[in-house]
Chain A
């Protein structure tokens, strides 16, 4: 690494790229940032970790001009500045890559890069400048993307590169990345880290906001931990450990790997044979998939996102129709039944995307507790819904799954990601299903909640239920699953033990060792 991490005690030779002094911000009753002091050294990669709701995003939004701090000062390159809008931030050389990309999908890469920074009514000048820059950056940093492709056709990793190009085109010296790897495959994430190190070598400063500890260890020089609106610790990354960071984030010791006994598989509860799924245009999404899941075991499906895992789960749950093959739940053939019928036969489903599918964010939380179970006789009172019964069930789930705040009448969208996920998981697990399909159980979930969710999944397995787990986190699959299936291009390309080295599973996921 070209620039060694600078320990806190030393006085850096250059003024820090960014210095936050006593930043304080409240939203109504929520104290989002409490007297924050943070120094980001020039030319460093600085990680900011914290659970959802710890105040990371608020702090970066203040730095990027979306919000104004109630108190406190911001210094850029040693000079005190006022940042009232993102235009001010860009003017000071601060660029931001948001978690949700801000791209016009129907425009080309080039058009997106110059968008808002055209400089003159005629586009040609900005376009040729941007083209030159994209070529240079592609050469220097490995930021390869074709400037003439339509953004909507690019992969997620490429779209993120376009976002980085946008920031650099606007003269960013300091780059803020908000949860940059949330949507990337492991290989794409590694590519991103290489780009960031190249940027650092060129003297750029990088701030990464994340809740993934692995990438903090992999790429940062310094790490600051936030909890409940405060910066509780700042360490040189090399001088700390994942366990210490996790403890600082959560405020107590957490287990990153929940211990479990070896599985005692019983009879087959879910059997899939020769399953084919096609999309509306006839393209094969899932091809000849055969496997089974037995009572008392967790079968994990590893694979790079978009290789048919989502479609496989949705087909078993009845949301998609299989074009060929059979699915059996215990003794019943369920292929082609609708989701309500399949649910009634004892299958529960925690969908991959809770916002898109698992919850209705605009409804009150208790109303989501009956989503999918609205036909349950226990929830009916004559022709009407027995609101009292549903709310009692919701209160019960909230208590059992430690959902915070414990207010069942709060609008679902106002809960944090981890608590929303607990609502979904509580709803599905409390039905005591024979078979549970789980997609991305801990995506966007805090470390503390991850441990909780993992414990619940293992407890369900130990009660003799069958669990089919799909996750983009290889770590999660390896620590939970009793058997691992690898999917690539809609097929199952191999099966292995969870102890198999990560690199070998990774090769299988890429379809190499099939």
Chain B
């Protein structure tokens, strides 16, 4: 995919097409905002300044971005192997269990000591939860879309059971574990930068953001520069050719799903160890599903995913500010806008392509003549 030449120059393919899709999404969103009697331009201004206008806002935006990078990468890795992993939500949920168990077991130990174990546990639990649907598809032919959706529900109910009956704080009304000790929590970026003389404002942004960037780099190496990634892509594009090439399809399906699940699981490091500091219900908050839109919009390329994740971070943080500033635009309205972006950038991804391809042919013809 990288650098491959098709009908459009790569620059147009990767930048102009998404930009056009976004513009369309915002135009329609503007009409919706107009319909409820608000000024769309003012709404855009509030969203942008809320998400990017001050240090604290930027921190929140990047905190959301971190989650979306993990789930976007998770969906993309499976995608390259021709698998549609809808289960990032459930895989991240189960990974939360892994992170919480590690943090509670090492409670009080310094975070930098606990972090490697928490990351390993998150990846392991996420991978384990994705392995079962992967195995079922590879060996029994059950379709991964169906099984991963079902596994989201199973993960959610398992979590309820565990938090109510097993892990829950005794005597508490809320189904959640006790809070981790201060030292074990991932410190906010602000606390890390203050001694250096920078004050970036209070936000949940923590070192797992760098983990997300590292994961993006590793996924890039995996997909385009490793043998396993090559085998995944061959299988994803042409399973018959994969068999011809001596690639074991069952192995590729299971490994791709486990890597995908592990990436989704890393979200729990950010949320459980970095922000909530305890295990609670529904801490994933739909990021697993946003990951699908992020992966589609980012064309399953790590760089695109980081950019798309940032865009959705802006939408989440800016949207929160917007519903706060303009009570008429409720939280649900913001969800509508996000939905429109997903619709245009994901589902209607090819809406703007044919006219662009035609336009390009014509300009090239004109340039030649």
Contact = CB atoms under 8 A, between A and B. Distances in A.
Contacts of B234: 360, 363, 371
A13 B267 CA distance: 80
B245 A28 contact: no
Interface in B1-32: 3-6
Interface in A339-382: 339-341, 343, 349, 351, 356-364, 367, 370-372, 374-375, 380
A260 interface: no
B227 interface: yes
Interface residues of A, number: 38
Contacts of B226: 383-385
A364 B4 contact: yes
A340 B368 CA distance: 48
Contacts of B6: 411, 414
B364 A29 contact: yes
Interface stretch (B174-182, B202-210, B235-243, B254-262): B235-243
A111 B241 CA distance: 35
B5 A411 contact: yes
B146 interface: no
A426 to B, nearest CB: 16
B220 to A, nearest CB: 11
Contact of B240 (A357, A375, A385): A357
Given A29-B368, A385-B230, A409 B5 contact: yes
Contacts of A341: 246
B233 A356 contact: no
A367 B230 contact: yes
A201 interface: no
B227 A385 contact: yes
Given A351-B244, A357-B240, A360-B241, A410 B5 contact: yes
A26 interface: yes
Contacts of B36: none
A409 B4 contact: yes
A464 to B, nearest CB: 26
A351 B238 CA distance: 14
A493 interface: no
A66 B238 CA distance: 29
Nearest to B234: A360
Contacts, number: 86
Q: Which residue, B5, B238, B241, B361, has most C-beta atoms of chain A within 10 A?
A: B241
A372 B365 CA distance: 40
Chain B facing A: main interface SS: helix
Given A367-B230, A385-B230, A349 B4 contact: no
A410 B7 CA distance: 12
Given A371-B234, A384-B226, A359 B364 contact: no
A226 B76 CA distance: 45
B56 interface: no
Contacts of A317: 244
B361 A374 contact: no
B227 A409 contact: no
B191 interface: no
A371 B4 contact: no
B149 to A, nearest CB: 27
A387 interface: yes
A311 to B, nearest CB: 14
A338 B237 CA distance: 21
A70 to B, nearest CB: 9
A213 interface: no
Contacts of B364: 28-29
B338 to A, nearest CB: 31
A318 to B, nearest CB: 8
Nearest to A390: B230
B245 to A, nearest CB: 4
Contacts of A340: 245-247
B248 interface: yes
B143 interface: no
A338 B368 contact: no
A359 B218 CA distance: 27
A319 B6 CA distance: 32
Given A29-B364, A372-B245, A411-B5, 12 more contacts: A356-B238, A357-B243, A358-B241, A360-B241, A362-B237, A362-B238, A363-B237, A384-B221, A384-B225, A385-B225, A387-B225, A409-B3
12 contacts: A27-B361, A28-B361, A340-B245, A351-B244, A360-B234, A363-B233, A363-B237, A374-B245, A375-B227, A384-B221, A385-B227, A387-B225
Interface of B: 3-6, 221, 225-227, 230-231, 233-234, 237-238, 240-241, 243-248, 361, 364-365, 368
